[in-house]
Structure 1
């Protein structure tokens, strides 16, 4: 009898402001496993902020850099992994994350994203010049849905409520 491979990573995807880092750190602590933020790894590896890389490279080259980096970087054997919001543009990165990971989509409405992220143009947000937040949201939404194994609607959840909901999912999947 074939059984599904064990889940070793819990990968958080979603728009900026969804709480991937905040929720991810707390979730990892409660599960007793490592926490990794791919944006932080990318900044450390290249020695510059995401915004600086984006300004220098442009959004398409930055997305390619992110995809290649996430597809090949070292990750702990067991971890909660918070990703950059644009990682879903990179099929090889997402395929790598899905190999032994459960993809958890922290879903927000556009209104909530706008309320939570007023500085999106200064935080390494990968989008075409002049592209508005609504357009990026509409562009990414089908990608988040495509890759998600589990979707958690987070508009009305506190950080603790999101962590508790995800902890239940993760505990049901862990080896």
Structure 2
């Protein structure tokens, strides 16, 4: 079992629908850590939903608020579920990595579509002319760049993904 004090925070990144929030809560329970969902922090900071931010001010505004929230985040021994667009901010990701292990919950585009359905209602930070497939491709390289560990989610339920994260963290720690 991974000793949480060895890993500081556990930071989950990935596309909407990859299980960051659900798996994050499972990991927090198993490791005896607190859980932080940065999407909720963004909504609290802005006083409105992610979708309202995108609708009223555009996707760039959501990314700016997200970066500010992440840069202000000063927590220890937490599982942190980030928004799908956190990886667009190098300063924010560098901040998260200073005291955390970043885990990319990797699912294929087809599974993203199956899980999130009508993505126009999810507060997803994307250009108005950008398809979900284009967004997926653009983000995949960013997720891969920032990840310390990548865990495949396809064909696994949330419990199995949490098991895989813990196993991969142990292997990463032993390297």
TM-score normalised according to structure 1 size: 0.91
Pair 1:93 & 2:76 matched: no
Q: CA deviation at 1:171?
A: 5.3
Deviations 1:10-40 (A, max 9, x none): 0000000100000000110010000000001
Q: Take 1:95 and 1:130, find their aligned partners in 2: how far apart are those partners?
A: 29
Q: 2:146 aligns to what?
A: 147
Q: Take 2:140 and 2:80, find their aligned partners in 1: how far apart are those partners?
A: 20
Q: 2:9 aligns to what?
A: 9
Gap regions ≥5 residues in structure 2:
none
- Native 8 Å contact 1:127 1:136 kept in 2: yes
Q: 2:57 aligns to what?
A: 57
Runs of at least 4 residues of structure 1 off by over 3 A?
Answer: 169-173
Q: CA deviation at 1:61?
A: 2.2
Q: CA deviation at 1:49?
A: 0.6
TM-score normalised according to structure 2 size: 0.91
Q: CA deviation at 1:46?
A: 1.9
Q: 1:74 aligns to what?
A: 74
* Mapping for residues 13-28 of structure 1, pairs under 5 Å: 13-28=13-28
- Native 8 Å contact 1:31 1:167 kept in 2: no
- Native 8 Å contact 2:28 2:34 kept in 1: yes
- Native 8 Å contact 2:53 2:61 kept in 1: no
- Native 8 Å contact 1:107 1:153 kept in 2: yes
Q: Take 1:69 and 1:137, find their aligned partners in 2: how far apart are those partners?
A: 23
SS of 1:124 mapped into structure 2 = coil
Aligned-residue CA RMSD (Å): 1.7
Task: Choose between structure 1 and 2: higher helix proportion.
Answer: 2
Q: Take 1:98 and 1:72, find their aligned partners in 2: how far apart are those partners?
A: 14
Pair 1:29 & 2:29 matched: yes
Q: CA deviation at 1:130?
A: 2.5
Gap regions ≥5 residues in structure 1:
none
* Count of equivalent residues: 169
- Native 8 Å contact 1:59 1:127 kept in 2: yes
